[in-house]
Structure 1
Amino acid sequence: MARAICILTGYFRAFGVVRLRVNESGCLTISGEFSGLPPGKHGLQVHCFGDVSNDWISAGPPYNPYNKTNGAQEENRYAASLGVNVNEDGLAKLDVQVSHLHLTGIHSIIGRTLVIHQSEDEPGKSDKEDSIMAGSDGSAVAWGVIGICQSNIPEDYLEEKN
């Protein structure tokens, strides 16, 4: 079973661990826990490159393998456009299943950067100039490169260590 992990760090003492694995039905399960983030809704996106040499800026634009415009309709969103809701204590959990992101093949997200943005991704829903193409979710608060995780480690072992 394919697995990946991403350790996110950034501003505001932000920290997060995201685990990605392909489940029995072939969907990608993305689960994570975050701390030190500003409260509210935040855009969570996979960006094109696994380059964090200039913080999140060098990670390039959001990953868009299907050439979508990131419109407000769910079927027109970038494949890599997700989100996370942070509580008043700066904590958040993520647990989603998606069928349009992959850990193997030509559209693999391994080696790309996962970025939490300061604002919610609201693609095409506002009058902001970059709303349709970029979702107007602003600067980043945390980021990390998605890496290969040993697939022979039992799931409960990974959970015990974090």
Structure 2
Amino acid sequence: MKKINLILLALTLVITVSCKKDKTAPETEKTVAETAKKVKVKLESKSGSNVTGNAVFTEEDGQIKFTAMISGLEQGTHAIHIHEKADCSSDDGKSTGGHWNPTGAPHGQWGSSAGYHKGDIGNLEADAEGHAMIMLKTDEWCIGCSDKNKDVLGKAIIVHAGTDDFTTQPTGAAGGRVSCGGIIK
């Protein structure tokens, strides 16, 4: 009888400890979720193209992780930039203005010591089916912060028909704007 009581007592302790751990797990997850900021962007076709996609900006611990998945592209290399305004109302995407360049730097390749716009994300490669993906992690952007030189909210993502040559000023000779998505909460 003592063995059964000991076993029951041990089981009760295990269940009690397990329940307490389960109760604290959501609190931990909630804390992590509260510190992360996320903005999802839907990219729509422009300039008579069929180019669409989705992008996500996730900010956590002072870092932004940017991921974009695009479809409907012609196979090959295409530029992707952040532009000044989250206005995708025009058919050609030009309502977004120029590249986002709050620091007045020359156009260039992301990370170049010669300089680059905050919106000079770079190029992505579309496969034979027209799909492309790009990922970038940086502390040079933020979501909804008070630093106008870093805040991506109110800007737009533009995918271009051509390749960014990283030298032609101020656009990189990237060609027409084939997809647009406003970065808004």
TM-score normalised by the chain length of structure 2: 0.71
Query: Which runs of no fewer than 5 residues in structure 2 stay unpaired?
Result: 1-35
Tell me if 1:110 matches 2:153: yes
Tell me if 1:123 matches 2:163: no
Q: Which has the higher helix share?
A: 2
Shift of 1:132: 2.6
Q: Per-residue displacement from partner, 1:70-96 (whole Å, max 9, x unpaired)? A: 145713011111122111110011221
Q: Is the 8 A contact 2:54 2:68 kept in 1?
A: yes
Q: Number of matched residues?
A: 141
Structure 1 runs of 4+ with >4 Å offset: none
Q: Is the 8 A contact 2:156 2:180 kept in 1?
A: yes
Q: Which residue number in structure 1 is paired with residue 182 of structure 2?
A: 145
Residue identity over aligned pairs, in percent, reads 19
Q: Is the 8 A contact 1:80 1:101 kept in 2?
A: no
Q: Which has the higher strand share?
A: 1
Q: 1:38 aligns with which of 74, 86, 98?
A: 74
Tell me if 1:3 matches 2:38: yes
Query: Which runs of no fewer than 5 residues in structure 1 stay unpaired?
Result: 125-130, 149-162
Shift of 1:21: 0.7
In 2, Cα distance between equivalents of 1:37 and 1:122 = 18
Tell me if 1:85 matches 2:125: yes
Aligned residue identity for 1:37: L
Q: Per-residue displacement from partner, 1:62-118 (whole Å, max 9, x unpaired)? A: 000111111457130111111221111100112211222221222311121110011
In 2, Cα distance between equivalents of 1:52 and 1:12 = 14
In 1, Cα distance between equivalents of 2:170 and 2:69 = 28
Q: 1:66 aligns with which of 100, 103, 114?
A: 103
Shift of 1:44: 0.6
